[in-house]
């Protein structure tokens, strides 16, 4: 008979000083990164009044991030993950300063200059994302995985709420150059928090052979693990088609007529919904029936996107985006926990790199897809089409991936229960 065990206290992860520092690093980095994405998108749309220009913005960041990510995972498994993070955080500071300079001068080549800096930021991201995920596993003890995941996700989302919500007001007062300088300061704070985390022992790599073969080891493991690969694919296709973030400047400017301030609130609504559920997950983690809950959350996301697509009322649009964020927040906590619990440490960087490729493809390539389709069939039909595709994808995933559908964890030991006999 299973022993009765009390669930871990909701603030258990916060008693660990290294986790608190890691949360601070993630918080300031996310605040600056999400705010920067809002500002550069709005700035480029004001310069061009073209949804195609927004689509190119996503593609220009995605190409280097996806191209570099697999090698970035290899580097994260072979070299010091903390040092990689410090280097890429410093690169983010330089990129923000460069964008401030370009916006201050604002000459004929400003648009090309902004695109060039975004390309460099994408290269940095290709190394940063795998290193951050792998370094998190060194900072967070396994018993605190799900609790820490909820707090890290909550911090990420809180910053994603605050950054876009505030930066619209900052942009109207200080302009683009002043906004980028403020964000450079936030990147500096992220670097300081990362540097304050003591160096962590990292297991030496167990693989032999060249870079190419080492990278393939991680991909082979991933494709043999049905729950992991299906969860990543589910997120890829739902966000690729269902994500509407890149088109929010069009909704704010041309459909809802709410300007930069309204754009910040539209971005914040999505994140605020996710924040609500991730904070709740620190009390009741959605890991016991992980597979079922993941499929249901993506279904709710698709329905919310359909509602937003046809809304012409600002309050209703905010509510729809809030719900989409809430459902995506559940998915985020489950996927982050799955990535940690189902990945062996020697392969963690390479599996995290594969995950970051899926994320880049869903977000940045999805932004490109949205820009192209919106230019072809219109903004509202494009977003509605994405909602429908999301519902079709989750239906196919539930049917084709029974191991994901049945995936369950013991909330106390974090061991898989679906494989028990």
Rounded Cα distance between 337 and 355, Å, is: 13
The C-alpha angle 236, 298, 398, rounded to 5 degrees, equals 85
Rounded Cα distance between 347 and 138, Å, is: 13
Predicted pLDDT at 323: 92
The residues pairing with 409 across neighbouring beta strands, listed in sequence order, are 416
Predicted pLDDT at 278: 76
Whether 295 and 405 have beta carbons less than 8 Å apart is answered as yes
Whether 70 and 79 have beta carbons less than 8 Å apart is answered as no
Tell me the whole-structure pTM to 2 decimals: 0.67
Alpha carbon 128 to its chain centroid, in Å, reads: 12
Per CATH, the architecture of 16-200+210-405 is what? Up-down Bundle (1.20)
52: which residues sit within 8 A by CB, 6+ positions away? 371, 372, 375
Predicted pLDDT at 25: 93
- 182-187: which pairs have CB atoms within 8 A and are 24 or more residues apart? 183/32, 183/35, 183/36, 183/39, 183/96, 184/32, 184/93, 184/96, 184/97, 184/100, 186/28, 186/29, 186/31, 186/32, 186/35, 187/28, 187/29, 187/32, 187/89, 187/92, 187/93, 187/96
Q: What phi and psi, each to the nearest 5 degrees, are found at residue 416?
A: -65, 140
Rounded Cα distance between 218 and 200, Å, is: 22
Predicted pLDDT at 300: 92
Predicted pLDDT at 108: 59
Q: What phi and psi, each to the nearest 5 degrees, are found at residue 256?
A: -95, -20
Predicted pLDDT at 150: 77
Whether 323 and 300 have beta carbons less than 8 Å apart is answered as yes
pLDDT of the chain, 421 residues: tens digit per residue: 333 344 456 677 788 889 999 999 999 998 998 888 888 888 888 788 777 777 677 678 777 777 787 788 888 888 888 999 999 999 999 999 999 998 887 665 688 888 889 888 888 888 888 888 888 888 888 778 777 877 887 887 788 778 877 887 888 888 888 899 999 999 999 999 999 999 887 766 665 556 777 777 778 888 888 888 888 888 777 777 766 777 888 888 788 888 777 887 887 788 788 878 877 777 777 778 888 888 998 999 999 999 998 888 899 999 999 999 889 888 888 887 888 788 777 777 778 777 777 776 666 666 667 777 777 888 888 888 888 988 998 898 889 888 888 888 877 766 777 665 4
Predicted pLDDT at 262: 83
3-state DSSP helix/strand/coil percent for the chain, to nearest 5? Answer: 80, 0, 15
315: which residues sit within 8 A by CB, 6+ positions away? none
Predicted pLDDT at 228: 85
Judged by DSSP in three states, 409 sits in strand
Rounded Cα distance between 289 and 294, Å, is: 9
Predicted pLDDT at 176: 82
Predicted pLDDT at 316: 92
The C-alpha angle 371, 70, 415, rounded to 5 degrees, equals 100
Predicted pLDDT at 211: 72
């Amino acid at each position: 008979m299973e022993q009765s065990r009390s669930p871990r206290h909701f603030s258990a992860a916060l008693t660990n000083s290294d986790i608190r520092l890691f949360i601070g690093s993630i918080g300031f980095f996310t605040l600056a990164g999400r705010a920067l994405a809002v500002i550069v998108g709005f700035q480029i749309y004001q310069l061009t009044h073209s949804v195609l220009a927004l689509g190119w913005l996503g593609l220009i960041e995605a190409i280097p991030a996806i191209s570099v990510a697999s090698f970035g995972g290899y580097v994260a498994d072979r070299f010091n993950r903390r040092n990689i993070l410090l280097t890429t955080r410093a690169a983010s500071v330089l990129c923000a300063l460069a964008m401030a300079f370009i916006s201050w001068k604002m000459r004929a080549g400003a648009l090309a200059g902004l695109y060039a800096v975004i390309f460099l930021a994408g290269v940095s991201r290709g190394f940063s994302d795998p290193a951050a995920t792998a370094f998190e596993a060194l900072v967070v003890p396994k018993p605190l995985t799900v609790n820490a995941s909820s707090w890290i996700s909550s911090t990420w989302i809180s910053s994603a709420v605050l950054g876009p919500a505030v930066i619209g007001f900052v942009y109207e007062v200080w302009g683009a150059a002043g906004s980028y300088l403020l964000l450079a300061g936030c990147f500096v704070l992220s670097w300081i928090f990362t540097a304050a985390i003591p160096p962590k022992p990292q297991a030496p790599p167990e693989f032999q052979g060249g870079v190419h073969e080492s990278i393939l080891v991680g991909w082979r493991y991933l494709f043999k693990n049905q729950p992991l690969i299906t969860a990543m694919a589910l997120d890829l296709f739902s966000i690729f088609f269902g994500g509407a973030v890149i088109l929010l400047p069009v909704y704010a400017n041309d459909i809802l007529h709410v300007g930069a301030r309204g754009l910040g609130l539209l971005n914040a609504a999505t994140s605020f919904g996710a924040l609500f559920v991730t904070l709740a997950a620190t009390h009741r983690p959605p890991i016991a029936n992980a597979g079922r809950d993941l499929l249901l959350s993506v279904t709710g996301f698709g329905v919310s996107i359909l509602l937003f697509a046809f809304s012409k009322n600002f309050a209703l649009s905010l509510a729809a985006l809030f719900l989409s964020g809430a459902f995506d927040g559940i998915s985020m906590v489950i996927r982050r926990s799955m990535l940690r619990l189902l990945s062996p440490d020697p392969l963690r960087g390479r599996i995290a790199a594969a995950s970051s490729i899926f994320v880049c493809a869903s977000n940045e390539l999805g932004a490109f897809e949205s820009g192209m389709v919106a230019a072809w069939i219109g903004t509202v039909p494009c977003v509605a089409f994405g909602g429908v595709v999301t519902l079709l994808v989750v239906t196919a995933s539930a049917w084709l991936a029974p191991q994901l559908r049945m995936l369950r964890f013991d909330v106390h030991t974090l061991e898989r229960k679906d494989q028990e006999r």
